[in-house]
Chains A and B, each alone.
Chain A
Amino acid sequence: MSNSLEELVPRVYRFALRLTRDRHEAEDLAQETFLRGWGHRAALRDPAAARTWLFGIAVNLWRSRLRRRRTARQGLESSEEAGLGRVRLPDQDAIAREDVARVLQAMDALPDRQREVLYLHACEALSLPQIAEVLGIHPGAVKASLSLARKRLRRQLKDLDCLRRVCGNETSP
């Protein structure tokens, strides 16, 4: 892990947040991810790939948790209670705050695979092979999930205020 914790922890935490959709769960998952990664650091062949490697660990840990619970419904309910609906954003970004919150909520409403793929692509700028490696799926599946996620998100968000502004100001002929 050549990257600093200051750089990696926020990324892993936010990815965990997208996986779990619950802040407490995400914090716990992030801590476990680093501990697991530290214990298996000998398996990290390329230190530059620490970020994607940790993402992969987080995915595996989260899936293990879900399997243990045998139901993902519990996580959805807890996310509604203690999770992302209570996001507090800086006042100076009031307008953007609403738009971002809507985008995040729309993303969180996507099916798990689509949400994970979209997050890793849009927020972490990972390539298709990297996403495939993190999630342990075929690159073709990444491609399909990403296309579906983008289409679904566009359908849900076409009425956003900022989007109307952007569309009104910048739409090319």
Chain B
Amino acid sequence: MNRSQCEHLDDYLLGWLSPDEAAAFERHLAGCPACGREREVQRSIENLLGSGEAFSEPLPLGLIDRIRDGLQADQPRPSGRRAWVLAVAASVLVLALAGGLTLGRWSPRGQQQAAVPSQPQQGVASAPDNLSPREPLPEESTPNRAALAVPAAARPHPGPARVALADPSAGIVVPVATKNPNITMVWIYPTIKPAAPSGASGSE
């Protein structure tokens, strides 16, 4: 037995030898029982590995489904995300509109009347602020809306707004509770009065 030739058994079985080398090894193999046994052992191992792997290692129950779920969860969902963005945008728009209407129409205490609309409703605004004061609203923590309440964090709080009618008898101002301290909302219920004599403005 040529020990150096025996070392090439794997090279031969794996097809790594040149044609000439392979032919030489086959001549060696024919006269080497040790290499013959090794070859058969190797074939058996490969058969066992090839056939046994499939049934000896059962797949964990539900693994494919879990992976599929994980991949689906990782998928971008344009419709849902777009809907969320739209919802946020709509909420911000509503808040901005509400803030603009309320703060713009009625200026807060201590500020000039610049925020008063150019075409105020008759009998509204430019009124003393000691009438129908805005009730202080309870300080509510709104963690869910914190992300939306950008104006509250971005600009200094102007303080509670005070709303009053130029003619207190023209209506009733009722504050409406909001969760954002920057937003002041009121309901105005106009009063119905009998027709005044000529020239009367209705104000005191």
Contact = CB atoms under 8 A, between A and B. Distances in A.
B21 interface: no
B165 to A, nearest CB: 61
Secondary structure at the B interface, as helix, strand, loop or mixed, is: helix
Contacts of A143: 16
A111 interface: no
30 contacts: A9-B67, A14-B53, A27-B60, A30-B67, A34-B70, A35-B71, A99-B48, A99-B52, A100-B53, A100-B56, A101-B56, A103-B49, A104-B52, A104-B53, A107-B49, A122-B46, A122-B49, A123-B49, A147-B14, A150-B10, A150-B45, A153-B45, A154-B45, A157-B45, A158-B37, A163-B40, A167-B37, A170-B40, A171-B37, A173-B36
A134 interface: no
Given A5-B68, A171-B36, A147 B63 contact: no
A9 B59 contact: yes
Contacts, number: 110
B57 A87 contact: yes
B53 A123 contact: yes
Interface residues of B, number: 34
B11 to A, nearest CB: 7
Contact of B44 (A90, A97, A163): A163
Interface residues of A, number: 48
B50 interface: yes
A72 interface: no
Interface in B52-98: 52-53, 55-60, 63-64, 66-68, 70-71, 74
A154 B41 contact: yes
A43 interface: no
B38 interface: yes
Interface in A1-60: 5-6, 9-10, 13-14, 17, 23, 27, 30-31, 34-35, 38-39
A162 B45 CA distance: 10
